[in-house]
Each structure stands twice: as C-alpha cells, then as structure tokens.
Amino acid sequence: MLLVLSAEHRAHLGCLPRAGGAAFGELGRLALEQLRRGAAPRACESAARQLNIGIDIIQHGVEGLVYLLTESSKLMISEVDFQDSINVLGFSDELNKSLLQLYLDNRKEIRSILGELAPRLPSYHSLEWRLDVQLASRSLRQQIKPAVTMKLHLNQNEDQTAQVLQTDPATLLHLIQQLEQALGEMKMNHCRRIVRNMK
C-alpha cells in the first residue's frame, strides 16, 4: 500500500536534502522526541542555531518527518512500499536509505505510542467491601438484615472515581453466578475457535 503525500507535506520534506546528512540525524531525533513527549520549540531553536538553518525550515522538516513516520507506522507499510512512496520526493539514494532506516528502527515504538492514544473506558482499580447486619431501625426493632456495601474504585485516564454500591447477599450471589457464566463462555467451542484463529 502506497503512502500518498500531499503537496504541502512534500514541500515540508523538501527541506531535508537542503539540511544535509548530519542535520538529518538531528532532525530524526527531534521528530522522535516530539512523538514521545510533544512539541519542543526550544529544542528546534537550538538545532536551528547549531546547523545554521532557519527555524521555520527545521520545524517544517520535523513536522513533516513526524507525519511521515506516524502514517507509515499506522498503516504498517512494508519496506518496498515505503521506498516507493518516498521516491516521489526525488531525494538522493543516501537520504532515502536513511529515511527507511529511521522508519524501520522506530516503527515498533511509534506503534506502541499510537496504541495508547485510543479512547478508554473506566477500568477497575480496586474494590473495598464491608458486610453489615442491620439489627434495628427507627420503624422496626429486632431485625436481622445483612447487607454488603462495596466501593468500586475506577481509573479513567488518570482520573480516579469511586462508585458506592450496596446489595443483599442473595443478589450478590446471583451477580457472582452471572459473572462466572460470562467467564464460562470463554471455554465454549465458539470462543475457543475464534481465539485460536486470532493467535
């Protein structure tokens, strides 16, 4: 599958051959840092001063590289396809090889970073529980009413929320039975077949 590069993208990447071989290593490093930690304008400034190139060109180059790497990693394109896609840019062979190397070296890491960007549902953090027995209330004395109180702690994107639930033991047993049935589904033939095919 070939990557289609827009005209603007091509213009941004067009600054790479002007920057030269040594600068390319620096730009590659800046692009990866931007993927890991977000944009760092100060790093771009110092790189621009060091390599004696305009800061705009550096920033465009870094952004162009970032986009190229994320799109290629996202689609998991093969080496051949990557080479064909960047041939369009008309770079030197050496630059093409360096780009390919940069892509192959960092593909796995970029994919794991992209994987973490997907939206998440609240996930389980911990559960506190308590078993009480109500002996009397204002309206009725001499009762025996057991109740289980639970506090479910959930994590959602670094936010911690807690949900308080209360139930009687019979409902709790029913809940446990339903959850065990759900787990039991995994052992049925249908699920087993799909899991086997996914592996």
Partner 1 sequence: QRFRFCGDLDCPDWVLAEISTLAKISSVKLKLICAQVLRDLLGEAIEYDKILKLTSDAKLESGDVKATIAVLGFILSSAAKHNVDSESLSSELQQLGLPKAEHASGLCRSYEEKQSPLQDRLRACSLRLSQLGSVRWRVDYTLSSSELQEVNEPVVHLTFNVRDRECDKMTAVPVTLSANKFWVLLA
Which residues of this protein are in contact with partner 1, per CB under 8 A?
128-130, 149-151, 162, 164
Q: How far apart are CA 168 and CA 150, in angstroms?
A: 11
Nearest-approach distance from CB 159 to partner 1, in angstroms: 13
- Cβ proximity to partner 1: between 11 and 162 the closer is 162
Provide the CA 103 distance to its chain's centre, in angstroms: 18
State whether residue 161 is helix, strand or coil.
strand
Q: How far apart are CA 163 and CA 152, in angstroms?
A: 5
* Positive/negative CA dihedral, 114, 118, 124, 126: positive
Upper half-sphere CA count for residue 127 (Cβ side, 13 Å): 9
State whether residue 148 is helix, strand or coil.
strand
Nearest-approach distance from CB 130 to partner 1, in angstroms: 4
Q: First vs last Cα of the chain: how many Å apart?
A: 24
Nearest-approach distance from CB 168 to partner 1, in angstroms: 17
